[in-house]
Amino acid sequence: MKENLLVLTTAGTLKWLKGAIHTLRDPLDVLVVDDSTPEKVGIRVFCKKKGIHFLTKPEPRGLTNSWNIAYQFFKTHNYTNCILSNDDVRFPAGFSKGLIAGLSGKFSYAMIGPLTNMPGKEYAQQIRKFTEIEPTPKNFDQIEKIIGEQVKSKSAYEQKKFINGFCLAFSRSMEKFKFSEEFLCDPARVNIGNDTFLSLRIWKQGGKSAVCRTSYVFHWKNVTFRAKGQQRNRLWRVKKQ
């Protein structure tokens, strides 16, 4: 059994992926799943130089398809834990420690998300609750250090029904909450909604999700949609035939 896998999903430009990888210092195996972008050749070369696993597709199929591919890789290669992330992020040193620790032992959450600067509607993941420092793409290490020092282990996790899908961690226990035998998430939901319905499945089936207060990941949010207009216009859900 292998230990910890980080999966970065990309459908934008190589610069976002490079930025994320260049900040990664935690001891994680890395897989990049590319949604058949025009820059996939450049991404493949970059990943080869870095010793990173790389998978792409014959044609774009959306984020949910990338999640399902990532989950199959996670299972097939017998990893214990997986962190699934967008590529428009910056990783502080040590960000994965709290995420992984909460997946087993006395906590054993089914899914855990980090604090972030751009969580959308999920106030529980808002880093501004924990520091007065304004988050930027450059001070992520400073913020990670601050929250690590001020949060005691007994309060490191806040149980929540919904976790933002830009970055989330799970273990082999996710097998109980997948959409079907083949898929982690409903393949009909092409680009958005997969995190919501995964969270709801976990909750309805008796599992627990949490926010880790000792883990922080900087997130630009929706840069692929802004850069690649065609991504935004894809159907949220595939129409029934």
Terminal Cα-to-Cα distance of the chain (whole angstroms): 41
Model-wide pTM > 0.85: yes
Closest CA to 105 of 60, 156, 70: 156
Residue 133: phi and psi, rounded to 5, are: -70, 130
With tokens 């930027």, the residue in question is 136
CB 91 within 8 A of CB 42: no
Domains of the chain from N-terminus onward: 2-232 (3.90.550.10)
From CA 177, how far away is CA 168, in angstroms rounded? 15
From CA 126, how far away is CA 219, in angstroms rounded? 11
Per-residue pLDDT of the chain (241 residues; tens, 9 = 90+): 689 999 999 987 799 999 999 999 999 999 999 999 889 999 999 999 999 999 999 999 999 999 999 999 999 999 999 999 999 999 999 999 999 999 999 999 999 999 999 866 667 899 998 899 999 999 999 999 999 988 765 689 999 999 999 999 999 999 999 999 899 999 988 887 889 999 999 999 999 999 999 999 999 975 554 444 444 444 444 444 3
